[in-house]
Amino acid sequence: MPYKSETISGLKSLDDIEDVISKAIKKVGGRKENDLCKYLPMSTGGYMHHFTLRKMKLKQPFELSSLIEKFIINSTKPTIISPKQRAARGSRKRKDQITFTKTQLDRLLNMAKISGDREMVSVLSPKKSLATCKRELIQAIRGNVADQVLWNTFTEIVQSQTDAEAALEHLFNR
């Protein structure tokens, strides 16, 4: 019957792998097992992940022992493996988009109003909520002012809400 310190395969006992790990930790000047990961290369590139080290220690101790002996113990000067290249994250700044300050946007909006370009005015104008738009429309009507731009904004907001509700209803009725 195998002892707890022996592996099922019988190739290396747990005590042997612990001895190899402790020698390697001393050689690299580390404090824990995870410090060895940077010195163990992987076939996929980069160094070994600490989860992989832990898994190999329990399931493939002979292979882990040979990797540690080859790259750390038998090496005259163990080298730190550079990390695997990771995919770019979404936080990178986009260089092809122009950003404007608030004052620049206000100046552009003013120029669009002066030139009478309604499309640019609607694109550059801050988006209003339906409640705000209703309130401003009612105030304009009470003041006997017919504001076509305000009316167009109101109808666009109502239309977009109607379209969104129809899309949701279609989605749930499938």
Domain membership flag for residue 5: no
Amino acid sitting at position 164: A
Domain membership flag for residue 130: yes
Domain total in the chain: 2
Q: Which long-range contacts (CB under 8 A, 24 or more apart) does 144-152 make?
A: 149/118, 149/121, 149/122, 152/118, 152/122
Domain membership flag for residue 83: no
Domain membership flag for residue 1: no
Residues of the chain with pLDDT under 50: 1-11
What is 126-164 written as a DSSP string?
A: PP--HHHHHHHHHHHHHTT---HHHHHHHHHHHHHHHHH
Do 25 and 63 belong together in one domain?
yes
The residue segments making up the domain with residue 113 are 102-172
Domain boundary among 31, 56, 73: 73
User: With contact defined as beta carbons under 8 Å apart, do 133 and 104 qualify?
Assistant: no
Domain membership flag for residue 6: no
Domain membership flag for residue 95: no
Query: What is the structure's pLDDT at 72?
Result: 92
Query: What is the structure's pLDDT at 114?
Result: 92
Do 61 and 108 belong together in one domain?
no
Domain membership flag for residue 79: no
